[in-house]
Amino acid sequence: MGVNDQYCLYTLVDYFVRHEDFQLLYMNGKTDEVWLQKQKKQQSTVMRFIQKEFDWKNHLKNDIAKVFQRVTTLKHIFKGKNIEVYNVYINENEPVDEWETLKKPMLLKEKKHVRMKVFYLSKEHLAQEKTRLFEQFPAEEPSFKEIPSDKTKENAIKMYKRYFLTSLKQKTQDVQKTLSYGKPRMVYFFMMINILLFLGLEFIGDSTSRHSLIELGAISPPLLQEGEWWRLLTGMFLHIGWVHLFVNMLALYYLGIVAEKIYGSIRFSIIYILAGLGGGIASFALNNAVSAGASGALFGLFGGLLYFTLLHKRLVNAAFKTNLMLILFINLLLGFIIPNIDLSAHLGGLVFGFVSAVLTSLPNRRAYILQVSALVVYAVLFAGLVYYGQIVK
């Protein structure tokens, strides 16, 4: 493997990282393959560098096809409508047959269009291809210092590899820290409260009994109008029947663990409670029946996770987002289809949960203006539903 080719590759990578604001996406130090990305407005730019020899045009063509396939697989992490790929090959030898047609811009038409330009930095066309590469960027082509000694180049290559691998390792650790900020404690605490109160309902009477539910603190619009607003809190921990309890506790277990890991116990608890209160007040304003259950709080966790996915699209894989939206859609659909399900509490919890997530913000993230705005939005929505509920009833 040529020292000159390796040195050329890593100096180019270093330049684009330091001076063109590209971020490391992937690196294989053994095969000398590096992927960079930069996202701006409606376009993502991906640079792929590899030091590899291709004897024939078809070998090179097959590798280009693999790059297309890999980009389309990863397209969910790229923002914008278009993806521009600069595929840079570095090797002193070129394929022996006619291959230059592969340098023509290529377009893969999908939901996100993927455009690719191929560059081949060989010994014969090194300066020409470098110039063509840097023509894609507004800055002038930089001049790289020539280091005559192969030993010096080898040391520089080792330094570059160590630096980039350390950066990627730190980035991976930061991602893991973001996705595992807290430990699931409050999830089990809330589950325990729900189960104990349900057993209490069964002990004093019947969890499906309107009288028993009201006695233990379910949401009753007339009683709320009389000033018993504490029912908004107690009502979110009561359930009507075993099936209602089982379904909600199952959802709390799976959604809650993910949300508490991301937000931490304090923020998770705030989102859960505020969303539950929001779902309760929506039920009061738009529903006349006695209501109870953790559904508003649970939909609030949906809202919190949706907010997280908006802020960290690159950290969330396509499967997670698809599963989250699918579960949300199914639960909303059930609210329309199955009678006696309080859809107003579901929608209210979802909205108030999203707003509450903005209000608490994510760990190690400060956005005071946005947080204060979320507090105002929450207060206005809550007061508006209180007023509306009192007027229409």
Q: Which of the residues 269, 283, 291, 295 is marked catalytic?
A: 295
* Two tokens, residue 94: 């070129």
Which pLDDT score, from 0 to 100, does residue 326 have? 65
Return the pLDDT at 358.
Answer: 97
Active site residue 209: no
Query: CB of 374 within 8 A of CB of 355?
Result: yes
- Please give the pLDDT value at position 65: 93
d(CA 106, CA 114): 8
Beta-carbon contacts of 342 under 8 Å, excluding residues fewer than 6 positions away, are 283, 287, 289, 291, 293, 295, 335
Q: What is the spatial distance between Cα 105 and Cα 232, in angstroms, rounded to a whole number? A: 61
Residue 241's region, left for phi above 0, alpha for psi from -120 to 50, else beta, is left
Note whether 6 and 160 are within 8 A (CB): no
Nearest Cα neighbor of 100 from 73, 125, 71, 65 is: 125
3-state secondary structure 184-211: CCHHHHHHHHHHHHHHHHHHHCCCCCHH
Helix count (H) and strand count (E) of the chain?
A: 13, 6
Q: How far is CA 113 from CA 25, 46, 72, 108, 181, in A?
A: 20, 13, 9, 6, 36
pLDDT values of the chain reduced to their tens digit, one per residue, 393 residues: 589 999 999 999 999 998 888 999 899 988 999 999 998 877 889 999 999 999 999 999 999 999 999 988 887 777 667 899 999 999 999 998 989 899 999 988 777 788 999 999 998 899 899 999 999 887 777 776 676 787 888 898 999 999 998 888 887 777 777 778 889 999 999 999 999 999 999 988 888 888 999 999 999 999 999 999 999 999 999 999 998 899 899 889 988 999 999 999 999 999 999 999 999 999 999 988 899 999 999 999 999 999 998 888 766 655 456 556 666 666 666 555 555 567 889 999 999 999 999 999 999 888 899 999 999 999 999 999 999 998 876
Dihedrals phi, psi of 349, to nearest 5 degrees: -65, -40
What domains are defined for the chain? 3-179 (no CATH), 186-392 (1.20.1540.10)
The pLDDT of residue 17: 92
Give me the catalytic one of 207, 212, 344, 346. 346
Query: What pLDDT, on a 0 to 100 scale, did the predictor assign at position 328?
Result: 66
Active site residue 295: yes
| Three-state secondary structure call for residue 6 | helix
Predicted TM-score (pTM) of this structure: 0.69
